[in-house]
Amino acid sequence: MSKNKVTFLPGRVEVHVDSGVTIMEAAIEAGVELEGPCGGQGTCGKCRVRLPENGSERWVLACRTAVTSDLVVEIPRSEVSLYRKSELSRTEINVIPEPGVRKILCQTRPPSLENQVADAERLLAALGDDNLVLQLAALRVLPTAIRAKNGLVTAVLAGDRVLAVEAGDTSRRLFGLAVDIGTNGEIVLAVQGRLMTCSTAAGPAFEGAQIRHGMRAAAGAIEGMTVDHDVHLKVIGDVPARGICGSGLMDAVAGLVRAGVIESGGRMISRDEAGHLPGALQRRLESEAGGNCFVLASWEETGAEPVLLTQKDVRELQLAKAAIRAGIEILLDQAGLTAGDIDRVLLAGAFGSYINKHSALSLGLLPPVSPERIYPVGNAAGAGARLALLSAEIRQKAAALARRVEHVELSARPGFQDRFIDALSF
């Protein structure tokens, strides 16, 4: 069977394919990225490409259009992804790991009538570094912790900050939480040598699917937003906004909850109820058949269709974040821990690498921990797969690690639905 040449613009990437394959399949073969959150069903409309033919042009869906002859396919520049998962795992990782959070056991000197030194000064002296900064949370517990075990305390440090002070020797007790945020939320809790894991069906909202103007992190995607008297957008590529990606969705909802546009239960107020809001925010509130919506970017700002955040979008985010949070809470319950016991949180995946920690915390996606304890680790799955392919030793270690993991089945877990419902609120 003869092959047809398909040339993708810009970049002039060429691939030869059989007749009958779709443009989407040809793009995959060529290594060209196209959006297709609906799985090739032709329902999302996000794989539109342009076919320049005989001086004219035609728009088609790549997932529904077959290649029957040589073809030139032009991908709109705004569709060219600027952030790729591969780039997140391309960094060399053959380095000696240095934990971001560390614990130091120290014995503080007792005060006396002759040496009336404040608790904070005694702790810094025991640590041997006067340049350390005690966080407010550490200062609050310091008087109790330092007296509970006759001055023996464990300081929890991140860089030059003392995050917490624990009574006695807890230097070997380090609890970590790892969350890979995507359509499925993969969660691992490390507890003194144990590894407990669960998987939650968060849905595709974090990746922009099932969101009215959701899109991947490409040029024109709103990736961040702040709210004061009006909204201030951060758009990938510094071009007019044409949609919103997962990190932007988190920022937008978090900002609108703080501003009072969205209630804690997730309901978006109407313009008639918005008399307490600044005028600019009031004007961005509109109504449609499915409920209220908020104009993130008007047609004057986009030069085309306005970018909206709808009531349904907010509900989709609530379902996604509640699934993740409920899974985390179940693992903490299983281990007999609370959020205050977590020493560090690792966020994996493309979405986790660009998420705003403060938005994730304020919306309740993550349990209440200090932002300094949250670390993005990039495309950990991709990096791990590369290591496993290159090293038999790493594969053996991974297999041994997998055998140690204790899987917690959420569907059979009593109380999961209650945790899920509790986590829906902002």
Listed in order, strand segments (DSSP E) in 342-403 are 344-348, 374-376
Per-residue pLDDT, 86: 44
Q: List domains and CATH numbers for the chain.
A: 3-80 (3.10.20.30), 102-167 (3.10.20.880), 175-204+317-422 (3.30.420), 208-311 (no CATH)
Confidence grade of residue 99 (pLDDT, cut at 50, 70, 90): low
Give the residue, 14 or 379, on which the prediction is more confident.
14
311's enclosing H/E stretch is helix 311-335
Neighbours of 390 (CB within 10 A): 10
**Helices assigned H by DSSP within 56-194:** 85-88, 119-127, 136-148
Q: Which residue has the tokens 């997998």?
A: 402
Give the residue, 378 or 239, on which the prediction is more confident.
239
Give the residue, 36 or 355, on which the prediction is more confident.
355
Confidence grade of residue 11 (pLDDT, cut at 50, 70, 90): confident
Per-residue pLDDT, 97: 45
Q: What number is the average pLDDT over the span 174-190?
A: 87
What are the phi and psi torsion angles at 56 (to 5°)? -110, 180
CB 345 within 8 A of CB 179: yes
Q: What number is the average pLDDT over the span 117-134?
A: 90
44's torsion region: left (phi>0), alpha (psi -120 to 50) or beta? Answer: alpha
Portion of the chain with pLDDT greater than 90, in percent: 49
Report the C-alpha gap between 295 and 302 in whole angstroms. 11
Report the C-alpha gap between 250 and 267 in whole angstroms. 16
Q: What number is the average pLDDT over the span 28-35?
A: 83
- Of the candidates 189, 110, 201, the one whose C-alpha atom is nearest the C-alpha of residue 150 is 110
Taking 70 as the threshold, does the pLDDT of residue 370 lie above it?
yes
Per-residue pLDDT, 174: 65
Taking 70 as the threshold, does the pLDDT of residue 88 lie above it?
no
CB 27 within 8 A of CB 8: yes
pTM check: above 0.85: no
Taking 90 as the threshold, does the pLDDT of residue 310 lie above it?
yes
pLDDT tens, position by position, 46-82: 788 888 876 667 889 999 999 999 989 988 765 554 4
Confidence grade of residue 194 (pLDDT, cut at 50, 70, 90): confident
CB 223 within 8 A of CB 247: yes
Q: Residue 50 gets which letter from DSSP?
A: E
Per-residue pLDDT, 101: 66
Q: What number is the average pLDDT over the span 236-249?
A: 92
> Among the ranges 46-60, 339-353, 397-411, which has the highest mean pLDDT value?
397-411
CA distances (Å), origin 26, targets 5, 54, 83: 10, 22, 22
Confidence grade of residue 95 (pLDDT, cut at 50, 70, 90): very low
Average per-residue pLDDT for the chain: 87
